[in-house]
Structure formats: structure tokens, C-alpha cells
Amino acid sequence: MSTTTTVGVVGTPRDRVDGRLKVMGAATYPIDVTIPGLAHAVLVQSAVTSGRVRHIAVDAAERAPGVLAIITHVNAPALAHGAVTLLGPSPLPPLQSDAILHYGQHVAVVVAETREQAQSAAALIEITYERDTPVLAFNDPRTSPVFHPWTPDHDRGDVPRALAAADVQVKTTYTTAENTNNPIGLFATVAVWDGDALTVYDTTQYPHAVRDLLAAAFGIDPAGVRVLVPFVGGAFGAGLRVWPHTTLAALAARVTKRPVKVVLTRAQMFTSVGHRPNTIQQVSIGASRGGQLTAIEHVSTSSIGMVDELINLVTHGTIGAYACPNVSTRATQIRQSIPIPGWMRAPGEAEGSFALESAIDELSYALGIDPIELRVKNHAHVHPDSGLPWSSNALLDCYRQGAERFGWSARNPQPRSMRNGGQLVGYGMARAALFAYQPPCKAIASIRRDGTAFVRSGATDIGTGTYTIMTMLAADCLGVPIEHVRFGLGDSAMPEAPQEGGSGLTGALGNAVQAACIHLVGAFVNRVSDDAQSPLQGCRLESITVRDGGIQITDEPARFETYADILTRHGLDELTIEGESATPGETSSATMIVQAGRFIPYTAPSTGTRAHAGGYAAHFVEVHVDPDLGTIRVARVVSAVDGGRILNPKTVRSQILGGIAMGIGMALLEETSSDRTGRLVTTSLAEYVVPVNADVRDVDMLFVGQADSMTPLGTKGVGELAITGMAAAIANAVYHATGTRVRSLPISIEKLLRHETSSPHTSSPVAAIARTIGSASP
Ligand code: MOS
């Protein structure tokens, strides 16, 4: 028997269980999938931004060597629009008309024996267009706001009255640029038909959504569609929606009766899998002379495609951010001739927190109050709408302990007062928070006669460590050595799981895995409780401890039997049981938690007594700015994080570090740009600049808080927490260093040197947003 301690791996820093596979090149990403008889499809994309395909000449391409099929709107079969998922509707199916709604829209698919042949044939296709003038500005008279149920307005108290009566007002406008996810793994789809059954290997964060969309598109039974993605290759939100190229791969395979592979090019990744839309945000804050917030108004306008719906929670985080009696938020989307937006890490929240936390910083200077003190003074001790206490909230500890670790007390509050040699030094900070989110999830757990456990669910691991933490959790819940536990995911034939997104999967899947494992131990207990041959006869779940691949009576260590022995005696190959996550704040009669191998009843807080809190953090940033060149270096970051119960400190650290790195990119570097005709000009990592190691220097983090009471598992999402507030912390540090307030992301050298004013109202929001989307100034 293994001597490994089998309880207590959760909470310890563990390497990734899939790390070795990945570094050995043995992890199979969708782009790596190859199948006998595989044909290759290449996508042809619109060169214009708006209009119609007048004519598409495919004759020469059809005669090119190796070509199997060319599919355009002229010969494509009708495809139905997929069902609405947890995340709203999917983009419309491709090739259903001659209309061009954005640059980079797929207008033809070329299928050939090899990718090179397909590419070469694609170059022979000649398309003539009828061009319209694209809509590229928020104030274009041909466009209008979108009304849909995804971003409701919010009002608390009487904001106009409170603002008018405030001792001090800050009214400012912020803009954020379009950003594009750049996972290293190019998105790929391999589609294989067998009659009306379809198998798809697809880069996705949400296999069940891909299954449902393809079933709807082709009018087939979802049970006949299998989506496989054991390894994703990064996604950051780009894989949350089901994009047209996935449907086109399946369509090409259906037309050619061959397995077909589609791989997006890096340039196509900029137009085919979504992006973070740009925003313009007005924030008005009223406060008393002593620093008590009396009113916050947050109004956001962001872009959306010409035909689409997209949840974009730009102002959502403002509602519960501070103990402010009067709060009003509005989030409007304006249709533009842009590639269909999607979600990118902390969608909306990253942009909204930049505006709110910059404005709070501006208020701190207007009042002459330290930015931390101002935030502490206005801390929401209870949920400001409902008045309910939070299920957990260690934000005050984040402020206190983060400030101490960072050395905030060494800060001279005067802007442009700190130097290091020739460099201006700035200290800035910001509050970060992310809503609690836990969609429903199922998992299934088995123990086999060889003593191994196999636990699985149709979820994904986009690089966050899901395989690892779920393996650890299952090992602890079952008392099986971690080396004998395998976790499976990335297969829609496994139990229904939500997307890995919204920072909600650890909670959703973890609670499902814990429930499945507890039920499985319960099934073993049922087997032996009236088994006269078992030393465990008469046991109950409450009286046992799991360890070393089996069960013991807690108070009588000699009464122990392995799962393998139980299965053997009962003539069973395995026991398998499904489990489901409990809705946060709800307790079913069977809900338990596992502590040190023991099963303890769990009771959720009684209904309506707690506000479910998500993760919190406080970011502290030191920047060095060259006063002549305008170069900004993030020299140091300290983030203090309340992530609830931490399952694996090592993978959590990676999530926070990754969020900080993306926050540095958002603040200083990343900008998706188009020319005045709406054609993208940033189509590679040479033009679209992301942070590299040299940009991510001294990063330190600490964890505070405790398990959240709202779910049996006690975790909070951390995947998107760290990018939230990060851009504001950097912008606030830049202001402290230079005395220049840049209210437009990214804070490029040009913007800093242009000395965008630090006083409100003087920058034209329309001009600023026009710059960020690259259109002519109005
Ligand atoms: Mo995240 S944008 O919910 O993958």
C-alpha cells in the first residue's frame, strides 16, 4: 500500500498534474489532432467592412490542385441559429447571406487535401463587393443604442439631488481601448461526421455550448454530437462563445464527407474569436468634505457588433463597491461595423474598475485624503443595496496587509515628489472585486477494483489548473492517494458542466466533484453497513474517516477496509455515482463537507441572511517614469487577495500573476486598432503589443480571508480578480509619479507626453473614442 498521506493535499502547493505532459509536448490540443483522411479548410475573409458580396469567382480555385470543395453563401446550406446558453445567444451562423457586417467576416471556405493547397486555392478566389460606409463612431447618426436584458440599469437613492448637494464633486470621463485575447494556442476545430453523428475537437471553454449550437445549426440530436477538448491552449474568454469557424469546420466536413480541420491564423484570431470592446465612461462622484461618499453615477457606452447580443458588465461592479447611499449606473451598447466582440478576462469589470477606481483616486486628491483611508472610510460593511452582511469579505485586511507589505507609509502624498535617480517614482493603489458566480454543474466519480479513482465532468481547463485542483479535491474527499486519482474533462459526453469563465468554474465544478465523491463514499458505506464480512459493518458516513484508499471507523483505526477489497468481495468492477453542485446558499439534506477525511454536515446560511460575496483584492503599484521619454515601468506590484478558501496556493498564485500581467498590458500596451475604413491594422503580436517578462517585474502577493460560507467548498473565483482594478492602480501610480492624469487606456508614451490635462471636462470624449477605434475625428 502507498504510504502517501491521503488527506490534506487541498491547501498545499502542488505542481500541475498535467505539467509533465505539457512540457513533453504530449498534451493534445485541438490544433494537434490528426485523423486518417483528414482534409484541410482555409477561411477566406471579407476585405471590406460593410456592404455586400456582389460576386465571388471561385472557378479558378475549384480547378486548383487538391481542392475538394469551395463553400460560399451562394452554395452553403441553411444553418439554424443556435440556442441561447447561460451566456446569452451565440453569433449568427456563417455564410447565410451576401451581407458583410464587419472586416474579417468569413465569406468562403476552401477545403483541400492539404492546408497548403487550400491556402493556395483561396488566393485564387476573386471577390467584388458593394461597399457601404461602415459605422465606426458612437455618434454616427445611423446607429443606435441596443436594448437587451443583459446589462440592466441600476438606481439606489437620488443621485442628482445628492450630487448637487455634495461638498466636493469629481466628474470625469475615461476611455478604454479595444483589447484582443491572444492565447498562444491558435483556435482550431477538427470535425468528423459518421452519418448524422458528429465528433468535434474544438478550442472552447464550453463544450456543451458547442454541442448544442452545432446540433441546432445542423438540425441533429445533441446526443449525437460529441465535443472534445482535453487541452485548450489558453483562451481568456475567447473560447466562451461558439464562433462561426467551428460551424464552418463541421459544414466543410459534411459537404466533403471527410474529416476536416480548420486552424485560424494569428491574424484571423483578431477578427474571429471576439475582443474586449472599447468603452467611454462618465463617472460623477459626490462626497462630503470629510470624505464620505454621497453619490456615484457611472455611465458607460461600449461597442457591439451590427447583429449580436453580448453581456458586458461595465458598470456592474460599481453598484456594491462602496457604502454610498445614492448610486446610479447605466450601460449602453452602440452597434458598430466591428468584428463581433466577445469576452476577455474580467469583461466589463476590468474596464469599469479602471474608471471607478481612477475617479476615487481623483477624489482623494480633491479632498486631500490618503487613497487607502478614503476607501476604508467608505468600505461597504454590508451590501449597500440589501443591507445584508457579506458571506465573507476581507477587503479591509487586503488594504491593511497589502499597504504594509508594499511599504505605502513611505509614500509622499504630493504628486511628482518622489524620485529615484532621474526617474519619477509613483505609488498608486486600487480596490478590486469580482462578483460571486456559480452556475450549475455535475460531475461523476468512480472507484475501480484496482483501487484507482476516476472523476470527471464535461468542463475545461484553459490553463488555470482545473485538472490539478480537482484531482487534489477528489483525493481528499475519497481518501485515495493523489497518484491513484485521475480527473477527466474536456468531453461533452461527460456530465453537463458550465463554461470555464466568469471565474465560476472552481466553485461550480469543485462543489460538484465534492458532492459526487461524498455520494460515492456513501455508496461504499451502504455496501458494507450490513456486510457481516466487513470490519466496517454498521458504519455510517458520520462515523468514518477515509484514508489510504479506503475507509476506517474514525475511533477504531483497526477497523479499516480498502475500496478495492470491498469491490472484490462484492464482485464489482467499480462503483460510480453522480453529484451536482448545490446552488450557493442552499443546503440539501445530503450536503456535507470533508475535513481531514471526515464527513461533516454543512448548512448554508439561512435564506436571505447573507449577500454572496466574490473575491476581493487591493493592488499596490510602484511605477518609474522617465520624465523626458515618457516610458513607464511597473517596477513593483503587491496584491493582497481575498480568494476565499485556497485549494492550491501554487495555481492560485499563477492566476493572480497572470491577471496582473494582463492588467499591465491593458494599462500600458494593448490596443486593437483599425484604420478609418474599419480594417484592422493590429493583426499580429508585432503590432498588438502584450507584456513580456521584462514588463512584469517584481510581483508579490499575499492571501487573506477565509472560506466563504455560501457554498460547501468555500472558494471564490480568482481567475479574473487580479486584472480587475489593476489598470487603475497603475494609472493612479502614473499620476502620483508625474502629476499627469491619463484617463484613456492604454497609457501610451504619446498620451503621457501630450500631458492630457489633470483637470476634468477638457478632453473631448468623442475624439478620444474615435482615436481608440481609429476612425476619422468627427
Ligand atoms: Mo472569462 S472572460 O469569463 O474566460
Gap from CA of 432 to ligand 1 centroid (Å):
16
Pocket flag, ligand 1, residue 347 (CB < 6 Å): yes
pLDDT of the residue at 289 = 98
Q: pLDDT confidence of 769, banded at 50, 70, 90? A: very low
Gap from CA of 614 to ligand 1 centroid (Å):
15
Q: Which atom of ligand 1 is nearest to the CA of 345?
A: 2
Backbone angles phi, psi at 478, to 5 degrees: -95, -20
Pocket flag, ligand 1, residue 502 (CB < 6 Å): yes
Cell of 681: 491594422
Q: Which residue has the higher pLDDT, 587 or 236?
A: 236
CB 304 within 8 A of CB 145: no
Angstrom distances, CA of residue 217 to CA of 45, 78, 82, 222: 21, 8, 6, 11
Q: Which atom of ligand 1 is nearest to the CA of 240?
A: 4
pLDDT of 760 strictly over 80: no
Cβ burial, residue 6 (10 Å; 0-12/13-18/19+): buried
pLDDT of the residue at 756 = 47
Query: Which residue has 474568454 as its cell numbers?
Result: 237
Report CA 581 to chain centroid distance, whole Å.
20
Q: Which atom of ligand 1 is nearest to the CA of 502?
A: 3
d(CA 484, CA 454): 9
Pocket flag, ligand 1, residue 244 (CB < 6 Å): no
Backbone angles phi, psi at 417, to 5 degrees: -105, -10
Pocket flag, ligand 1, residue 658 (CB < 6 Å): no
Gap from CA of 366 to ligand 1 centroid (Å):
35
Pocket flag, ligand 1, residue 501 (CB < 6 Å): yes
Pocket flag, ligand 1, residue 375 (CB < 6 Å): no
d(CA 101, CA 743): 31
Q: Which atom of ligand 1 is nearest to the CA of 462?
A: 4
Cell of 501: 469563465
Measured CA angle at 716 (ends 663, 278), to 5 deg: 30
Q: Which atom of ligand 1 is nearest to the CA of 504?
A: 3
Residue 443 identity:
A
CB 731 within 8 A of CB 742: yes
Query: Ligand 1 pocket test: which of 345, 437, 718 has the largest number of ligand atoms within 8 Å of its C-beta?
Result: 345
pLDDT, tens digit, for every residue of 40-97? 999 999 999 999 999 999 999 999 999 999 999 999 999 999 878 888 888 999 999 9
pTM here? Answer: 0.95
Pocket flag, ligand 1, residue 237 (CB < 6 Å): yes
pLDDT of the residue at 589 = 72
Contacts of 433 (CB under 8 A, 6+ apart): 317, 320, 321, 353, 395, 614, 615, 616, 617, 721, 724, 725
CB 732 within 8 A of CB 430: yes
Pocket flag, ligand 1, residue 118 (CB < 6 Å): no
Gap from CA of 240 to ligand 1 centroid (Å):
7
Residue 140 identity:
D
Q: What is the mean pLDDT of the chain?
A: 94
Measured CA angle at 630 (ends 627, 632), to 5 deg: 105
Q: Is the peptide bond before 134 cis (omega within 30 degrees of 0)?
A: no
Query: Which residue has 504510504 as its cell numbers?
Result: 3
If one counts every other C-beta atom within 10 angstroms of the C-beta of residue 338, the result is 28
pLDDT, tens digit, for every residue of 381-435? 999 999 999 999 999 999 999 999 999 999 999 999 999 999 999 999 999 999 9
Q: Which atom of ligand 1 is nearest to the CA of 346?
A: 2
pLDDT of the residue at 516 = 97
d(CA 116, CA 362): 55
pLDDT, tens digit, for every residue of 713-738? 999 999 999 999 999 999 999 999 99
pLDDT of the residue at 1 = 37
pLDDT of the residue at 754 = 84
Gap from CA of 499 to ligand 1 centroid (Å):
9
d(CA 260, CA 262): 7
| H/E element, 649 | helix 649-664
Partners of 579 in beta bridges: 443
If one counts every other C-beta atom within 10 angstroms of the C-beta of residue 194, the result is 9
Gap from CA of 88 to ligand 1 centroid (Å):
14
Backbone angles phi, psi at 32, to 5 degrees: -85, -10
Pocket flag, ligand 1, residue 344 (CB < 6 Å): yes
Q: If you take atom 4 of ligand 1, which residue's CA is the nearest one? A: 237
Gap from CA of 465 to ligand 1 centroid (Å):
15
pLDDT of 757 strictly over 50: no
Contacts of 605 (CB under 8 A, 6+ apart): 391, 585, 709, 710
Pocket flag, ligand 1, residue 234 (CB < 6 Å): no
CB 69 within 8 A of CB 256: yes
Pocket flag, ligand 1, residue 335 (CB < 6 Å): no
Cell of 491: 468531453
Instruction: Give catalytic residues, as residue numbers.
Output: 720
pLDDT of 144 strictly over 90: no
pLDDT of 762 strictly over 50: no
d(CA 437, CA 244): 27
pLDDT, tens digit, for every residue of 628-656? 999 999 999 999 999 999 999 999 999 99
Gap from CA of 551 to ligand 1 centroid (Å):
39
DSSP string, 576-597: EEEEEPPPTT---TT-EEEETT
Q: pLDDT confidence of 147, banded at 50, 70, 90? A: confident
If one counts every other C-beta atom within 10 angstroms of the C-beta of residue 78, the result is 9
Pocket flag, ligand 1, residue 751 (CB < 6 Å): no
Q: Which atom of ligand 1 is nearest to the CA of 236?
A: 4
User: What single-letter DSSP state applies at residue 271?
Assistant: H
d(CA 746, CA 177): 7
The shares of helix, strand and coil residues in the chain, as percent rounded to the nearest 5, are 25, 25, 45
Cell of 348: 466589463
Query: Which residue has 466636493 as its cell numbers?
Result: 168
Pocket flag, ligand 1, residue 343 (CB < 6 Å): yes
pLDDT of 604 strictly over 50: yes
Gap from CA of 434 to ligand 1 centroid (Å):
12
Share of residues in the chain with pLDDT > 70 (%):
96
Contacts of 775 (CB under 8 A, 6+ apart): 136, 137, 674, 676, 678
Cβ burial, residue 284 (10 Å; 0-12/13-18/19+): buried
Q: Which atom of ligand 1 is nearest to the CA of 503?
A: 3
Pocket flag, ligand 1, residue 345 (CB < 6 Å): yes
Please state which of the ranges 68-77, 414-423, 537-546, 580-589 shows the lowest mean pLDDT.
Answer: 580-589
Query: Ligand 1 pocket test: which of 275, 464, 720 has the largest number of ligand atoms within 8 Å of its C-beta?
Result: 720
Gap from CA of 504 to ligand 1 centroid (Å):
9
pLDDT of the residue at 7 = 59
| H/E element, 505 | helix 505-529
Q: Which atom of ligand 1 is nearest to the CA of 500?
A: 4
pLDDT of 196 strictly over 60: yes
Reference 53, options 70, 74, 71, 69; nearest CA is: 74
Gap from CA of 343 to ligand 1 centroid (Å):
6
User: What is the β-pairing status of strands 698-704 and 632-642?
Assistant: parallel
The length of the chain is: 778
Backbone angles phi, psi at 125, to 5 degrees: -75, 130
pLDDT of 748 strictly over 60: yes
d(CA 581, CA 579): 7
Query: Which residue has 462626497 as its cell numbers?
Result: 287
pLDDT of the residue at 541 = 96
Reference 363, options 177, 163, 616, 176; nearest CA is: 163
pLDDT of 759 strictly over 70: no
d(CA 499, CA 494): 14
CA dihedral angle for residue 675, residue 677, residue 683, residue 685, rounded to 10 degrees = 10
Cell of 648: 492550491
Gap from CA of 250 to ligand 1 centroid (Å):
25
Gap from CA of 33 to ligand 1 centroid (Å):
25
Q: Which atom of ligand 1 is nearest to the CA of 343?
A: 2
Handedness of CA 651, 656, 657, 662 (dihedral sign): positive
d(CA 427, CA 411): 7
> What average pLDDT does the segment 269-297 reach?
98
d(CA 708, CA 393): 8
pLDDT of 771 strictly over 90: no
Reference 41, options 107, 122, 123; nearest CA is: 122
